[in-house]
């Protein structure tokens, strides 16, 4: 693109945002101590939940200022998964949060609405057929897009309902193994995003291979987004995601602000 028109494109982008033609939707949850973290079996290492300790708040610890120290895991809250997070992606180039190519951090997003199916079955698995049916209605998934699986799981504000644990473990929706391979091999998606903790379904330990989304996506140098919200505000096609993770050295992921740019509805 020539420099002129690139400059004009950027100006149009800013103008669109300022005048309201382009809407920005926040797909991230607020980081709070109450947000449920990923929980693994007790003998394995655990990821930290989000915690905040106030350093001072206009008081004797610091008269004119308010600031905090916070702590969390790389996979706390709304977060990005880099390929290095999974064993299958450990040796790929540019596989950590500090080395992810920047141009991949702005990408189109396709949103597939599985909210009805997920409401009926917490262990609902997205299949190739379901994706093809979606494409018949909304058009093919463009290459290097995010595929976001909308389940309205983010509306489960009760942490127990959000985790949905019983004696068999977690029951949350996700993709089956075949659709993950399809999305990689036939559609070249850049990443898979979900509203649940984990891009894989809650019972994905029992799929073949276990955790197919993590295994295949990261094994092919692609990304994940988890604990998204507001997917119900996005169009099926047309939104653009901005999702740069924190530049952590050899980072496996990080909490981040996921912004979606979309055309605002006509008044």
Partner 1 sequence: MSGASGQRPRKNPLLRTHVPLTPPAARSRIALRLTAAAARGRFELQVCRRCAHVQYPPREACERCLGLELDWKAERGAGELLAETTLHHSHEEYFRLRLPCRIGLVRLESGPTLVTFLRAGARGVGSRVLVAAHLDRAGQAVLVARAVGEQDSMAEDRALRELTCSARQRKILVTDGKSATGQALIRGLLQTGAELVWAGTAEPWKPAPGLDELARDPRVTPVPLDLTDSDSVRERVAQIGAKVDILINNAELHRPYGIGARYGVEVARAEMDLNYFGLLRLAQELAPVMRARSADAPASAVAWVNILSIYALSSFPAQGTFSASKAAAYSLSQCLRAELQRSGVRVMHVFPGPLDESWNEQLPGPKLSPEALARSVLGALEDGIEDVYPGDLAQEWLARWREDPKVLERELAAGG
- So which residues are the catalytic ones? 85
Shortest Cβ distance from residue 163 to partner 1 (Å)? 3
By CB atoms closer than 10 A (0-12, 13-18, 19+), residue 244 is middle
- Tell whether the torsion through CA atoms of 168, 173, 179 and 183 is positive or negative: negative
Q: Please work out the total of residues on this chain that contact partner 1, with binding judged by CB under 8 A.
A: 19
Residue (162 or 223) nearer to partner 1, CB? 162
103 binds partner 1, rule: CB under 8 A: no
- Angle (nearest 5°) at CA 195 between 192 and 143: 20
Shortest Cβ distance from residue 110 to partner 1 (Å)? 30
Contact residue for partner 1 among 15, 24, 33, 250 (CB under 8 A): 33
Binders in 42-71 for partner 1, by CB under 8 A: 45-46, 49, 51-54
Residue (137 or 158) nearer to partner 1, CB? 158
Query: Rounded to a whole number, what is the distance in angstroms from the first to the last CA of the chain?
Result: 32
Give the range of 39-47, 144-152, 202-210, 232-240 binding partner 1 by CB under 8 A: 39-47
Residue (54 or 250) nearer to partner 1, CB? 54
Residue (159 or 209) nearer to partner 1, CB? 159
Q: Tell me the per-residue interface mask from 139 to 178 with partner 1, x by CB under 8 A, - otherwise.
A: -------------------xxx-xxxxx------------
**Could you tell me if 77 and 29 are in contact, meaning their C-beta atoms sit under 8 angstroms apart?**
yes
Contact residue for partner 1 among 36, 83, 174, 253 (CB under 8 A): 36
212-216: long-range pairs with CB below 8 Å, 24+: 212/175, 212/176, 212/177, 212/180, 212/181, 213/174, 213/175, 213/180, 214/81, 214/85, 214/86, 214/88, 215/86, 215/88, 216/88, 216/177, 216/180, 216/181, 216/184
Shortest Cβ distance from residue 166 to partner 1 (Å)? 7
Number of neighbours of residue 187 by Cβ within 10 angstroms: 18
3-state helix, strand, coil in the chain (%, to 5): 30, 25, 45
Residue (34 or 137) nearer to partner 1, CB? 34
Shortest Cβ distance from residue 39 to partner 1 (Å)? 8
Shortest Cβ distance from residue 220 to partner 1 (Å)? 30
Shortest Cβ distance from residue 192 to partner 1 (Å)? 24
Residue (47 or 237) nearer to partner 1, CB? 47
DSSP 118-178: HHH-TT-EE-HHHHHHHHHHH-PPPTT-EEEEE--GGG--SHHHHH-EETTEE---EE-HH
For partner 1, the binding residues (CB under 8 A) are 33-34, 36, 39, 45-46, 49, 51-54, 158-160, 162-166
């Amino acid at each position: 693109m020539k420099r002129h028109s690139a400059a004009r494109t950027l100006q149009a982008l800013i103008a669109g945002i300022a005048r309201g033609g382009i809407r920005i939707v926040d797909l991230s949850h607020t980081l709070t101590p109450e947000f449920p973290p990923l929980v693994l079996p007790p003998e394995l290492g655990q990821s930290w939940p989000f915690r905040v300790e106030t350093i001072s708040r206009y008081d004797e610890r610091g008269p004119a200022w308010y600031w905090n120290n916070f702590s969390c895991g790389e996979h706390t809250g709304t977060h990005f998964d880099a390929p290095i997070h999974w064993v299958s992606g450990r040796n790929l180039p540019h596989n950590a949060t500090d080395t992810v190519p920047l141009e991949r951090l702005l990408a189109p997003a396709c949103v597939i609405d599985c909210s009805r199916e997920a409401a009926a079955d917490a262990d609902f698995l997205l299949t190739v057929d379901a994706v093809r049916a979606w494409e018949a209605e909304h058009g093919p998934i463009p290459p290097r897009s995010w595929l976001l699986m909308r389940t309205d799981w983010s509306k489960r504000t009760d942490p127990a309902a959000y985790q949905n644990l019983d004696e068999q473990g977690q029951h949350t929706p996700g993709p089956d193994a075949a659709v993950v391979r399809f999305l990689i091999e036939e559609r070249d998606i850049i990443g898979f995003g979900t509203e649940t903790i984990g891009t894989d379904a809650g019972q994905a330990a029992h799929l073949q291979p276990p955790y197919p989304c993590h295994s295949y996506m990261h094994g092919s140098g692609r990304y994940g987004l988890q604990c998204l919200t507001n997917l119900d505000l996005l169009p099926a096609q047309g939104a653009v995601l901005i999702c740069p993770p924190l530049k952590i050295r050899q980072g496996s992921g990080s909490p981040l602000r996921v912004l979606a740019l979309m055309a605002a509805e006509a008044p």
